[in-house]
A and B are shown apart, each in its own frame.
Chain A
Amino acid sequence: MSYKDVLNKLVGEGLLTPSGEVKPHRLIYVFESGKIRELFTKLIDLAGVEGFYVSTIVGTDLMKDGKIRLDYYVVFLPQEETIVFRTFLPRENPEIDSLLDIIPGVLSGECETYDLLGVVFKGNPALKRGFFVPKDVYEKGIYPLRKDAKV
C-alpha cells in the first residue's frame, strides 16, 4: 500500500485531518493527542514496520495560545516522503502516551522533548531530567525551551 493510500485510509477513519503543509511540501495531518497509540498502531499495520521511520519529534511552546505543539516527522519509504503528524497539548501539565514499546526509535526524541519542554510521555521509563539539561538548570525545575524560561 502506498503512503498516499495509507494516509487516505487514516483520514477516512477519522484519525487524521489534513491541515496545510510545512515548506517544502511536507503535508501536515493533525490528530487528537489521546489517539496517538491507535494512530501509530494502525500505521504499522497498514505501512508495515519497514514502511516508515520516525525521523524526529519537534516540540514547540505556543505560549500565547497556552499550548505545546508536538510534531512527529515520519518518513515513508521507499519514496522517503516526509509527513508531519501534528497534535496539541495543554501547556499546563502536557501529557501524551509514549510510543516507545511499538516504535523504539522514538526514545531519543521523547527523552529530549521531556527534558527540554516538559512534555510527559506516559509509559516511557527512560524519561529523566538531566538527559541533556545541566544540573543547575533542571534543579530549579526549568524547562529551557519554554518561552518564559530564563537560562
Chain B
Amino acid sequence: MAITKIIEIPYSLEIPVGPQHPALHEPLLLKVYADGEEVVKVEVYTGYNHRGIEKLAERNSFYRDIFIVGRVCGICNTVHANCYVRALEQILGIEPNNRAKYLRVLAMELERIHSHMLINAVMAEIIGFESLFMNIMLDRERIMKAKEILTGNRVLADYMMVGGVRRDINDEKKNKLLKLLNKTEERVKYYKQVFMEDDTILKRLVDVGIITKTDVLKYSLIGPPARASGVKIDARASDKYDAYDEVPFNVVVKKEGDSWARMILRWDEALESINMCKYILENLPSDGNPVPDEKRLPRRFPPGEAFTRVEAPRGELTYYVMSDGKPMPYRVKIRTPSFNNIINTANVYLGHSIADVPVILVSWDPCISCMERITVLDLTTGERKRMHLKELARGGRKWVSPRYSI
C-alpha cells in the first residue's frame, strides 16, 4: 500500500498534568499517514508542554500542593484536588463529616456535567454544527453558574481541603442550584435526542472508531471510551469514595464501541449526574460544619503511602502520594485518564478516512483547548498546505456560510 500523503496535526490541548506529567491537555502532535483518504498509520508525539508538576509537588508542602494539583486541569480541577486530598487524608487518618462528603460529590458531579456538555459541543463543532456548539455552550453556562454558587468560582474552584470543603451552602443557594439543574436537565434531554436522531450526526459518528471490549482492556483504556465498549468500570462504584456509597446512581454502559456510543454515553452520564446533584441537594446531611478549622489541621505527616482513584469526567484518575515524614511529599505521581486514552489509541484510526481523524480524537475527550495548523503533505506532488482541524473534518473543503452558498 503506497503512502501518498502525510498529515501532521499539531493539536493544542489544555494541560492536565504538567511537565513531569504529560497527559493530554497539552499540545500534542498526531502524525497521520494516509493512502489516498485512508489512514494507514498514526504516530502520537508528546512533550510540547511538560510543566513538571510532579517535581514541583516534591518541592512544596503537602498543603500548598492542593493548589498546585488543582491547576493541573482547568476543566476537572475539583477531581484532581479531591483525589490528592483524599490521599493526604489516608496518610493522616482523617475523615471528613458526611455533609462535607456530599458537598464534594456535588462539586465533582457539576464538573462532570459541564465537561460532558463541553466535549459534545466540541464534537458538534467538529462535524460542522456551529449553532449546536454555541447552544450547548450557552446551556453549559448554567452549570458554570451553579459551580460558582457552590464553590465561589466558575472554573478553578479550590474547593477541597483536608478534612472537608472550603464553603458550606444555605437553603437559598440550594434552591438556586435546583432551579439551574432543572433547566439544564430539559436541555440535556433535548441535546441527547438531537444526537440520537439527526441523520448527519449519525452518519459522521456511527461505526467510526470502533474499539472492542478486549482491546479496551489490552490498551488500558478507561472512562467513557471503556464504558461505551461494554466494560463496566467506574471508580465511583468500586471505590465508593466520599458519598458515592450513599448517593444512588447507575453506571451507564453501552455495547456499540463507536464514536456515537461514546458521545451518547456522555449525555446519559450527564443526566445521571443531574439526578445525583438533585438527590444531594434534597438529602444534604446536617452532621456538623463541613469546613474544618485550618489552624487545627495536623502540620506533620507521618511516613506512609496512599494510592487514590477518582472517576474524573474522562475516566479513572489516580494519585500516588508518598510521605517520608518530612514537610514535603517524597513522591507525587499523577496519572490522568487522557494519558492512557490518547497515547494508547493510535491503532483505532487505521482504515478510516482523514476526515474521521478529528471525530475519533474528539470522541476520546482529549480536552482540546486550541486546534490549529494542520499540515497536509502530498507525497506525490510534494505539495504542503495547512488547514484547520474543522476544515480537515469536512474532507479538506473550506467552510462556506449557508448565507453565501446559494
Contact in complex: A80, B220 (CB < 8 Å): no
Given contacts A23-B305, A108-B344, contact A55 B318 (CB under 8 A): yes
Contacting B90 at CB < 8 Å: which of A24, A107, A134, A145? Answer: A24
Q: Per-position contact with B for A47-86: 1 when CB-CB < 8 Å, else 0? A: 0011011111010100000000001010101111110100
Please give the distance in Å from B25's CB to the nearest CB on chain A. 13
> Interface range on chain A: under 10, 10 to 19, 20 to 34, or 35 or more?
35 or more
Instruction: Pick from B48-56, B254-262, B364-372 the stretch touching chain A.
Output: B48-56
> Interface range on chain B: under 10, 10 to 19, 20 to 34, or 35 or more?
35 or more
Within 8 A of B (CB), among A112-151: 112, 115-116, 130-134, 144-145, 151
Decide yes or no whether B239 CB sits under 8 A from chain A.
yes
Contact in complex: A56, B333 (CB < 8 Å): yes
Contact in complex: B238, A80 (CB < 8 Å): yes
Decide yes or no whether B46 CB sits under 8 A from chain A.
yes
Instruction: Pick from A7-15, A29-37, A89-97, A98-106 the stretch touching chain B.
Output: A98-106
For the residues of A in contact with B, the DSSP-based class is: mixed
Contacting A132 at CB < 8 Å: which of B19, B218, B320? Answer: B19
Contact in complex: A79, B318 (CB < 8 Å): no
Contact in complex: A132, B316 (CB < 8 Å): no
Contact in complex: A55, B335 (CB < 8 Å): yes
Q: Which residues on the B side are within 8 Å of A109 (C-beta)?
A: 335
Contacting A133 at CB < 8 Å: which of B47, B221, B318, B322? Answer: B47
Decide yes or no whether A1 CB sits under 8 A from chain B.
no
Decide yes or no whether B134 CB sits under 8 A from chain A.
no
Decide yes or no whether B232 CB sits under 8 A from chain A.
yes
Contact in complex: B220, A58 (CB < 8 Å): no
Decide yes or no whether B235 CB sits under 8 A from chain A.
yes
Contact in complex: A56, B335 (CB < 8 Å): yes
Residue of B nearest to A56 (CB): B335
Q: Per-position contact with A for B326-342: 1 when CB-CB < 8 Å, else 0? A: 00001101010001100
Decide yes or no whether B219 CB sits under 8 A from chain A.
yes
Given contacts A131-B46, A132-B22, contact A26 B233 (CB under 8 A): no
Contact in complex: A107, B322 (CB < 8 Å): no
Q: Which residues on the A side are within 8 Å of B304 (C-beta)?
A: 23
Q: Which residues on the B side are within 8 Å of A108 (C-beta)?
A: 22, 220, 339-340, 343-344
Decide yes or no whether B307 CB sits under 8 A from chain A.
yes
Q: Could you name 7 residue pairs across A and B whose Cβ atoms are closer than 8 Å?
A: A60-B330, A75-B233, A80-B234, A82-B309, A104-B344, A111-B343, A112-B21
Binding site for A on B (CB under 8 A): 19-22, 46-47, 50, 52, 54-55, 90-91, 213-214, 217-222, 231-235, 237-239, 304-309, 316, 318, 320, 322, 330-331, 333, 335, 339-340, 343-344
Binding site for B on A (CB under 8 A): 22-24, 26, 49-50, 52-56, 58, 60, 71, 73, 75, 77-82, 84, 103-109, 111-112, 115-116, 130-134, 144-145, 151
> 17 new A-B pairs (CB below 8 Å) besides A107-B343, A108-B344?
A24-B90, A24-B306, A52-B217, A60-B331, A73-B307, A79-B238, A80-B234, A104-B344, A108-B22, A108-B339, A108-B343, A116-B54, A132-B20, A134-B19, A134-B50, A144-B20, A151-B52
